[in-house]
């Protein structure tokens, strides 16, 4: 791919054709990624090391932690961010290859419909991630986790495990849920903005 295509692609990703889309990019790129990258590491970075069970043995702690965290929150949220970016990136890659200017996207029906579809797909992916987050992490992190050691010791045995910094993790969970809701609202508002521009209720930029 030529440098011009790469330039058009990066400009499209960083400066979408709508005002709300530009705000979404700013929010997504600065606030959400910064929150996950910096604060997420601070909250979850040493969780596995401080996760302790009774009896406090390395193999017991590791077994129960893997049961407690089938996937670490940082990995899940990083995958969520990457997957949610795919529809928009695909559209802007298409626009770059076709040499479509950002100001032309909302002027032509096919391009605007394609762009709306990418935003709508983003909403679906966020909703699926929201549901998966509920299934994996819930809304609250308890201080005590009851670990089923049956598969480890070949007998029925429930072990108590201490979850470090559970209150901070609860706050972080709520924040990530909130970010997902804000992103969905921005996507819906962007679709509404495009519809208003197509109907002539809003002037083009």
Q: What is the per-residue pLDDT across 156-203, written as a single tens digit (0 to 9) for each?
A: 688 889 998 889 889 989 988 998 898 899 889 888 888 877 766 665
Which pLDDT score, from 0 to 100, does residue 205 have?
47
Segment 32-61 shows an average pLDDT of 82
| Minimum mean pLDDT range among 55-64, 73-82, 138-147, 195-204 | 195-204
Q: Looking at domain 20-204, which CATH architecture does it have?
A: Up-down Bundle (1.20)
pTM of the predicted structure, to 2 decimals: 0.81
Examine the pLDDT at 2 and tell me if it is beyond 80.
no
| Minimum mean pLDDT range among 27-36, 43-52, 168-177 | 27-36
What is the residue extent of each domain of the chain? 20-204
Confidence of residue 114 (pLDDT cuts 50, 70, 90): confident
Which one has a higher pLDDT value, 34 or 123?
123
DSSP assignment of the chain, as one string? Answer: --HHHHHHHHHHHHS-SSHHHHHHHHIIIIIIHHIIIIIHHHHHTTHHHH-EESS--HHHHHHHHHHH-SS-HHHHHHHHHHHHHHHHHHHHHHHHHTT--HHHHTTSHHHHHHHHHHHHHHHHHHHHHHHHHHHHH-S---SEEEEE-HHHHSS--EEEEEPTTHHHHHHHHHHHHHHHHHHHHHHHHHHHHHHHHHHTSS---
Segment 31-54 shows an average pLDDT of 81
Average pLDDT of the chain is: 81
| Minimum mean pLDDT range among 76-85, 86-95, 169-178 | 86-95
Segment 30-57 shows an average pLDDT of 81
């Amino acid at each position: 791919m030529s440098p011009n295509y790469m330039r058009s692609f990066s400009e499209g990703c960083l400066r979408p054709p709508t005002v709300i889309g530009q705000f979404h990019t700013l929010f997504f790129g600065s606030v959400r990624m910064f929150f996950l990258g910096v604060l997420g590491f601070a909250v979850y970075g040493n969780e596995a090391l401080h996760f302790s069970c009774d009896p406090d043995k390395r193999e017991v702690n590791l077994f129960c932690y893997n049961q407690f965290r089938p996937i670490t929150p940082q990995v899940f949220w990083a995958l969520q961010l990457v997957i949610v970016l795919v529809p928009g990136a695909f559209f802007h890659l298409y626009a770059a290859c076709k040499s479509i200017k950002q100001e032309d996207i909302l002027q032509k029906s096919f391009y605007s419909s394609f762009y709306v579809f990418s935003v709508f797909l983003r909403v679906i992916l966020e909703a699926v991630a929201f549901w998966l987050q509920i299934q994996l992490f819930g809304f609250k992190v308890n201080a005590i986790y009851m670990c089923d050691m049956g598969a480890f010791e070949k007998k029925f045995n429930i072990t108590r495990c201490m979850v470090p910094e559970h209150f901070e993790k609860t706050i972080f969970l709520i924040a990530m849920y909130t970010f997902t809701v804000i992103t969905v609202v921005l996507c819906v508002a962007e679709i509404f903005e495009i519809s208003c521009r197509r109907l002539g209720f809003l002037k083009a930029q």
